Amino acid sequence: MLGAPVNNQCGECTACCDAIGSSALGKPYYTRCKHVANGCSIYETRPHGCQIYRCAWHLGLLGDRTDRRPDQCGVLFQIEPEGRTCSLEIYELSAGAADSEKAKYLKQIILNNRHFQKLPLAKCYVRVYPFGSDIPVTFAIAPEYAHAAPPAEDGTIRIDSHSPSEGRFEGRTRELAFARVPTAEPG
């Protein structure tokens, strides 16, 4: 499908480690991965899902300018296949970032990218997730993230009446959560 260009390396960006959920780690969305410490502390042995994950910047859909990298532009763009369609998912890394002129401009760059347009899709939807969205998950939450577990059924995507292919998550939001380190029992 789309491959990452050699020159687009993550560098200091760990946006996906904060914004994206991981079933292998039992980590909900908008929760910092417990392995983030000056990059990934388990990089060589990280789960397969982390190894193959590529945001739109890493795929080269935004070029190789580092000011378009998620940690620099304030939003993480992800392409999510869904049967014969796909969604361009936009995760805010700070409140209101998806509404900035820069984020809107970058969204259009992706939607107009010739590689993106060649994907075998019937239709593409855009979904915006405000910073801290409590996005429901279908996997078990690890104990160290249990305090950040999202509600099972809360949150829907509200479709924009002016642009039926765009929607925004409407549900509970919170601050970025962090893993809790288990405390030793006195004894």
pLDDT for the residue 6: 45
Question: Using one digit for the tens of pLDDT, what is the confidence trace for 104-125?
Answer: 999 999 999 888 887 766 567 8
Question: Using one digit for the tens of pLDDT, what is the confidence trace for 63-79?
Answer: 889 999 999 999 999 99
User: Considering the chain, what is the average pLDDT of its residues?
Assistant: 85
CB-CB contact of 21 with 129 (8 Å) = no
Average pLDDT over residues 79-94: 88
Question: Using one digit for the tens of pLDDT, what is the confidence trace for 118-156?
Answer: 776 656 789 999 999 988 888 999 999 988 777 766 667
pLDDT for the residue 8: 61
Q: Is the pTM of this model over 0.95?
A: no
93: phi > 0 → left, psi -120 to 50 → alpha, else beta; which?
A: alpha
Tell me 124's DSSP state.
Answer: E
Helical (H) or strand (E) element with 72: helix 70-73
